[in-house]
Structure formats: C-alpha cells, structure tokens
Amino acid sequence: MLKVLFFFSLFLILYTYLIYPMIMLILNILLRKRKDHLIDESFLPLVSVVVVAHNEKQVIQKKIENCLSLDYPKEKLEIILATDCCTDGTDEIIAPYHKKGALHFIPIRPRGGKSKALNICLPKARGEIVVFSDANTFVQKDTVRKLVRHFADPKIGCVSGRLRFRPVKGNPLGMIESRFWNYETWVKRLEGNIASLPGANGGIYAIRKSLFRPLPTDRAIMDDFIITLRIIGMGYRAISDPQIVAIEDTCIRVEDSFEQKIRIGAGNFNGLKYIYPLLSPTQGLIAYILWSHKIIRWFLPFVLIAALISNIFLVNQGRLYQYLIGSQISFYLTAFLGFLCYLWNKEKVRG
C-alpha cells in the first residue's frame, strides 16, 4: 500500500509539470489546424479599458499615462478607472484626469473588493469589448489592437495576454517569477490552441461585454479565473496571444510573494463552486485541461507530503527509495537554506 501511495504521488508530480505539457504539445501537433480562428486587423469595435485600484498611489499616474498612450481610435476607446476605498491619495491623483474628460472615474465606498468594483463598472462600460488590466501592470501601445483582432471570430469570447516580470535590482524573486510565468504562458498557449486556456492572465485580458455576468461578492475569488471559465461554459473559446505583453515589477519581499500565492490559491478554491460543471467528463478536453492544469496542481502540497512520508517508511526497501529520500531531503534543505539566507540578508540590510 505504501508503495502504491509513493509511486502514485510521484506520478502526479511528474504528470503535472512534465507529462501533461508534453501531452498538450502532442495534441497541438495533431489538432491545432482544426482550431485555427479568424484574425482581422481591421476589426476596431468600441472598447472599454477597465482598471480597479486600491491604494496604488505609487503607480497610478504612470498607469493612467500608459492607458492614454494606447494606439487605438480615441472615439472608440473609453478608460474606466475605479478605486476601492483608497486611503493613500490615489483618488486625488486620478481626479484631475476625470475633470479633463480623459477617463471615467468611479470611486467606490465602502470597500467591497475587486469583484464588487467590477460589478459596478461593467454595466457602465459602453464598449463591445472590455479590456481588463491591473494598476501595476503596463502594456504596449498596440495592446488593444492586438486583443480585439481576435474578436472578429464570433467563437472567441476571451483573449489573454502574457505577463512579463521586470526584475527589481537586488531581488532574486524576479528571475524565479519570470521563468515560472514563461513556463505558464507556454502551457496556456498550447491549451488555447486546441481548446481554451483555464483562466486568463489578470494583468491583461479582454472579453465580450455581453458575456460578463455579475461576480459573487460573498467570498474572495479570482475574478479572471471565474470570468474566463464562465465564458467557456457558455460555449466560447478563451485563447492566449503571446504577442500581447504586460510588464509588472516583481514583489520586493518574499513575504509579499508568499501572501500573494496564498491569496490566489484561496481564491481559486473558492471559485470551484461556480465552475464545477466544467469538471465533468462530459465537457471533454476542457475538463481534462482543468483537472490537469488546475485541480491536481492545487493539491500538490498534500501530494508532496504524502510522497515524503511514504518514502520515509520505504527507505529500507532498496537503493531506489534511499536515493529518492536523499533527493527529497536535499530539495527541502536547499529551500530552507535559501530562506535562511534571505532572513540573514534582510537583517543585514536593516543593520
């Protein structure tokens, strides 16, 4: 029984990060031509760019200027900026732009979270296509054009860009985050080529406004995940375009990055309630993608624990188990030593 548990745990780890992407790559070779879609560079619908901010004083002016510099017909572009009960002076920076008519400003009080803010903003948006972007991400001038060209195909309901992290000097997280997101972008592109990607990149993505449904506000969720999966559930495709790039600074502190991952994980779990029909085998390829890319991955911390504990009990069963327990212990020790080095450097900087 322990051997079954150990090898099953090992298989899930390898499957999630190695075997599944290879399966997606093979399916791309076999199926991609069947999923080609119409792209029309001359398709220029009315677009609403929606940004929700909470205490983003340090970046909000740069974000506004970034939005105003977008290369898209001005008469077909509106910018909606909502703030969720800011207390750091963000509203005061936005207000002059609103007075000049450069954007629509929606201050929200009391604080209700991003989902509530989107529920307020979307009914006010005039655009046929809605582009979502975070306050701390910055896009290229032709981003809107690149996003909307895909919506010339009536089967496309959501288009996601990719996130590129800009390393902060002296911050080792930059390289790690960048490599991970490069991997994620590659896998999502493969998924979108043959079916749909299981969640857009919240930093930059677009949807048909007609497909938006009010988001739940009774619990913390990942809005980009829920919005994308709901659109897929309506029978539309969600795809990724690697040419669309949003740039974001990496988290300065390990603590911030850790808290962000916890928040994302909790939001994804809370969101299962709203997308569970897509997990049914009757949904075909999209169900397979969701289970493989999302659900199994969310449970990997428990799988890693199971692999370690079962390996400890099997250590006297042969050299293979001894080699594998040594590899696991080395892996965790390396992570622990890295954390100690981070704490030491942190104290050194304070001193």
Least confident of 189-198, 242-251, 339-348: 339-348
Give 249's pLDDT tier (boundaries 50, 70, 90): confident
Ordered alpha helix ranges (H), 32-171: 60-68, 90-99, 114-124, 143-148
Say if CB 281 and CB 5 are below 8 A apart.
no
pLDDT, position 219 = 85
Statement: residue 312 has pLDDT above 90: yes
Angle at 257 (CA atoms; ends 253, 260), nearest 5 degrees: 140
pLDDT, position 260 = 76
Statement: residue 252 has pLDDT above 70: no
CA-nearest of 232, 182, 224 to 204 is 224
Give 254's pLDDT tier (boundaries 50, 70, 90): low
**Number of CB atoms found within 10 A of residue 328's CB:** 15
Show the tokens assigned to 312.
């400890």
Q: What is the pLDDT of residues 177-193, one digit of tens each?
A: 778 888 999 999 999 99
- Provide mean pLDDT across the span 158-187: 80
Mean per-residue pLDDT over the chain, rounded: 91
Give 70's pLDDT tier (boundaries 50, 70, 90): very high
- Provide mean pLDDT across the span 116-125: 97
pLDDT, position 154 = 97
CA-nearest of 201, 191, 192, 196 to 224 is 201
pLDDT, position 169 = 60
CA atoms of 338 and 87, how far apart (whole Å): 36
- Provide mean pLDDT across the span 272-290: 94
Parallel, antiparallel or unpaired: strands 237-249 and 156-166:
parallel
- Provide mean pLDDT across the span 268-290: 93
Burial of residue 112 (number of CB atoms within 10 Å: 0-12, 13-18, 19+): middle
